[in-house]
Every structure is written in structure tokens, then in C-alpha cells.
Structure 1
Amino acid sequence: MRALFRRDPLGVAAVIIAICAIGAAVLASPGAPEPVPAARPTANPASAELARCRNLGEAGGADADCHAAWAESRRRFFGAGDPS
């Protein structure tokens, strides 16, 4: 292998360039998976309100509508009745 580098450095460079070109072509192929969108539109108004509150960041903690949406979400998740 060392003899190859000493005799033909341009040939080695050509092989490296070819490998890089093939790799770039594979990555850019039309069969490559599409990136996943960051947020999906929802038909559920409660989910839309929770997404709005999430996007508010720390300001959501002071928003009364966000508090109501979080309470409703907890109620739906844990159920309406007492576990006792």
C-alpha cells in the first residue's frame, strides 16, 4: 500500500475524490427520506392551544388561557374522578 502512495499520488487523490462524489450522490438521491416537519397542524383545538402555550415559552406561565388548557389536559389524562 505504501508503494502505491509513493508511485502515484494523483491516482490516490482521484480515488478519494471519486469516493466522495459517490457518497454525495447517494446522500442527494431522490430516495432519501424527507425531514420530519417540526409541527403538524391539528384539528383538535385543545392541542392547538397547548402548542400555542408551548411556543410562548416562559410567558406561558403567566397566561390564564394556558393554565386552563394545562388543567384540561391533566383532567383528560388522569380522568375526572378521584382515585380513592
Structure 2
Amino acid sequence: MRVRLARQDRAGLRQARGDRAAGLRVLVDIDPRQSEATRRALLASLADTGTLVLGTHFAPPAAGRVVTHGGAYRLAPVDPR
């Protein structure tokens, strides 16, 4: 099993539906360009690796795996059972 832990200020994703998560900008992003670049890099490093991602502030489903979907990414939910 591969586990990656990341602090929110180092690597993090905001909750989003669909395939636009990396390009979203939020008011708390101090450096919006760097924030977007960090999200894109994190998604690229996780995509299609099978790494389990847990979003503690995400609405259900909060656990899944990042997979490529066309030219973007999506969270494939994991059955909690």
C-alpha cells in the first residue's frame, strides 16, 4: 500500500465537482498562479497511481483515487466496505 501525506500549505486540493479542480482559484490562495500550479502538479503525481486520497474537508465521497479523464482528472470513489 502506498500512502502520501501532505500538509495543506504544501500540497492540497479544494473540493470541486467535475474536472475543473486544478484550475479553480479561491480567495484564500495568496498566490493564485502558484496555487494552481501546485494543484496541477499534485494531481499529475497522483493520477492513475492507485494512491488512496482522503479529503478530510470534502463532502462524501471523501476517499478515492485520482484518475485521468479525457484531458483532466477526476476522483474515483472507493467503496468504504
TM-score grouping bracket, smaller chain normalisation = under 0.3
- Per the normalisation by structure 1, the TM-score is 0.24
Structure with bigger RCO (C-alpha 8 Å, 6+ apart): 2
TM-score by length of 2: 0.25
Per residue, is there more helix in 1 or in 2?
1
**More strand per residue:** 2
Structure ID, larger Rg? 1
